[in-house]
Chains A and B, each alone.
Chain A
Amino acid sequence: MIPVDLDALASCLASPACLVTQTTSGLIIGMLLFLVAVGLTLIFGVLKVVNFSHGAFYMFGAYFAMTVYQLTGSFALAILAGAAGTAILGLIFERVFMSRVYGRDVLMQLLVCYAFVLIFDDVVRMIWGPEFKSMGMPAAFQVPPLFIAGGVVPPYYLLLIGVALAAAVVLGLGLARSRIGKVIRAAAQNPGMVSALGINTGLIYGGVFALGGMLAGLAGALAAPVRSLTPGMGFSVLIESFIVTVIGGMGSILGALIGALLIGLIRSFGSLGFPLFTEGLMYLFMVIVLVSRPTGLFGKEVA
């Protein structure tokens, strides 16, 4: 049968040190997933397309960050390059290709994205080579880890969690309160009316896509010091962020946050109890959520 190690899980749950370590590692998995998933959910909410190539932006973010870091040695610039580079890429991708398949059937949209998954992976392989790369931890964070209740917490993890949380707050408030946020929500509701009121919806669509791409690129750039870089690295992240958006409800930012944290924790604790079936646990969880609530935890019923 599938190997199960419930003793390891139970003994970890009983020890505060292990609990802290596993929770932080779950949180950073969750936060990175959130950044990718929230872009996905935003794009779906406004443009009504599922960006199947979203993982590629995460991948490009990581590679851009690595290259800029190696060239300049500045970590801040690296993060900036990851985010800005993917934003531009997202804008071009949306304006040139995706805008041609709006309103067409889902199959066409998925296919265009599928084509770009293949193309982008090969482009990365051409430019950076097929082998695993690593960016290395920036010098500022090469400090001894913090110990909280006996659990190990690298300082970089705190930065990562902080940045992701800040992004969540800015996004949430921006969409709810700012004028641009209102326009975006209006465009999601009724693009025809928004455009009739003299607002350039093409610009909004491009902007939202660029924003989504930027968030994924930011996640990739933040992940670059702690993960290894390889062409195709976007794909597993993509599948996981799909699970997150589907669990949280397509189009819901809060749902993406909760879903991402749940998946992060399932991954970090699941790897103790079910070492080989961690991924299976996520899919199982997704199936359970969808069967009981087909629109996800925070999704609204779409007409």
Chain B
Amino acid sequence: MTELQAGQGAQTLAPPRIDARPQRYRDVLIALVAFALLALLPFIFGSKQLLDFVIRCAAYGLFATSLNLLVGYTGLISFGHGMFFGLGAYGFGLMMQKTGVPIPVAFVATLAITCVVAVVIGAICVRLKEIYFAFVTLAFQMLIHSTILSWQSLTGGDQGLRGGIPRPPFLGIDLSNHLHLYITSCALLVIGLFLMRQIAQSPFGYTLRMIRDNATRASFIGIDVWRAKLTIFVLAALFAATGGMIMALFVSGAYPEFAYWTISGEGIFINMLGGVTTFLGPMVGTVLLLILNDTVTRLTEYHGIVLGVVILFFAIGLRKGLMDFVVEWFAQRRGEASG
């Protein structure tokens, strides 16, 4: 192949970048509108329950969407993503309790710690194949969980971080005020989702999709697959840790359950429920799961059976998530209308 031909080939392979800028403006607009709506919510429906629900959605939504960057976009089925949720909650809680630094400093420092841990764990995990990747991430999750349980002097063992997390005001924001906490959580959620959306739509995001679909081809055209996987593993960990920090602020503590494998299992389930092919699928899944959890626990003590049947319905019946289903249904209808 001559150089000219190679050059032509590369041109047709380039991602459609023409659309990138208007799409980003659209995303900014959507983010701003979403934030404005969320911020107005307390002035329309003042119920504390609803605001609590939104805060929990923010924590789990960031976590689940970041997991989708791995599962849906890169094809990395992590069964230990919850470890970063737990790490965020514990890192932030401990930093606030032991050092008394301002909240933004603790926030950034926790992200830095998460980054280091994720680089180390990711470097070990991402070279493994599908099922082994799932297992090793699960093993790391349990390793962190048992470290938290056994390091009682620091973490409080199975009792969790007790005595509350101090929340000194900063820049006029007082997170011990419920409304301020709510607005901050919403802001973190919207910013986090916006950033993840930009990652997913960037050329790097398309590289990830390519790795998911055909890693051999990706490495043949010169992509360092290992590095790309590691990068997204670390990025996803940072957003998961942010979710963990929101949770820690919300419950004013941190508990070993935050680092237990079930958090990862729930994350996978949320992704399945909402669908992994659309960006907002996991967010829809989060809202669905939390509503489902809240109603089912209120109605019956056997909520495992109900949840299990719902999972089976999605996995065997629908064979896809809710958003996947909706998107396909719309596409089909449009096809019928035009044809």
Contact = CB atoms under 8 A, between A and B. Distances in A.
B159 interface: no
B138 A242 contact: yes
Interface string B287-327: 00000000000000011110111011011100100000000
A288 B136 CA distance: 10
A125 B305 CA distance: 11
Interface string B124-146: 10011111101110111011001
Output the residue of A2, A112, A121, A302 with the most chain B CB within 10 A.
Answer: A2
A115 B309 contact: yes
Interface residues of A, number: 43
Given A100-B316, A294-B128, A280 B147 contact: yes
A108 B316 CA distance: 8
B305 A280 contact: no
Name the residue among B128, B129, B139, B272 with the largest chain A CB count within 10 angstroms.
B139
Interface in B240-273: 261, 265, 268-269, 272
A118 interface: yes
B152 A119 contact: no
B150 interface: yes
Given A280-B143, A280-B147, A283-B146, A122 B305 contact: yes
B308 A115 contact: yes
Contacts of A112: 311-312, 315-316
A117 B149 CA distance: 24
Given A101-B316, A243-B139, A50 B132 contact: no
Nearest to A114: B265
B18 to A, nearest CB: 33
B2 to A, nearest CB: 35
A241 to B, nearest CB: 12
A111 B143 contact: no
Interface in A104-128: 106-108, 110-112, 114-119, 121-123, 125-126
In this complex, which of B127, B136, B150 has the most chain A Cβ atoms within 10 angstroms of its Cβ? B150
Contacts of B87: none
Given A114-B311, A242-B138, A283-B139, A276 B152 contact: yes
A146 interface: no
Bin the interface of chain B by size: 35 or more
A287 interface: yes
Given A1-B153, A2-B151, A106 B130 contact: yes
B312 A115 contact: yes
B329 to A, nearest CB: 20
Nearest to A3: B150
B134 A1 contact: no
Contacts of A277: 146-147, 150
Contacts of A3: 150, 152
A97 B309 CA distance: 12
Interface string A229-248: 00000000001001100100
B77 interface: yes
B55 interface: no
A111 B139 contact: no
Contacts of B128: 290, 294
Given A242-B138, A277-B147, A283-B139, A116 B316 contact: no
Contacts of B149: 276, 279
Given A2-B147, A122-B304, A243-B139, A108 B132 contact: no
A111 B315 contact: yes
A119 B150 contact: no
Contact of A107 (B127, B129, B261, B268): B268
Contacts of B135: 242, 246, 290
A50 B316 contact: no
A287 B143 contact: yes
Contacts of B225: none
A283 B311 contact: no
Contacts of B139: 243, 246, 283, 286-287, 290
Interface in A49-104: 50, 97, 100-101
7 contacts: A114-B269, A115-B307, A119-B305, A243-B139, A280-B150, A287-B139, A287-B143
Q: Which 10 A-B pairs have the closest CB atoms?
A: A276-B150, A119-B308, A118-B304, A115-B311, A122-B304, A280-B146, A283-B143, A118-B308, A115-B308, A279-B146
Interface of A: 1-3, 50, 97, 100-101, 106-108, 110-112, 114-119, 121-123, 125-126, 239, 242-243, 246, 250, 274, 276-277, 279-280, 283-284, 286-287, 290-291, 294-295, 302
Given A246-B132, A283-B146, A287-B140, 12 more contacts: A50-B131, A106-B130, A108-B319, A112-B311, A115-B315, A119-B304, A122-B302, A122-B305, A274-B150, A279-B149, A287-B124, A290-B128
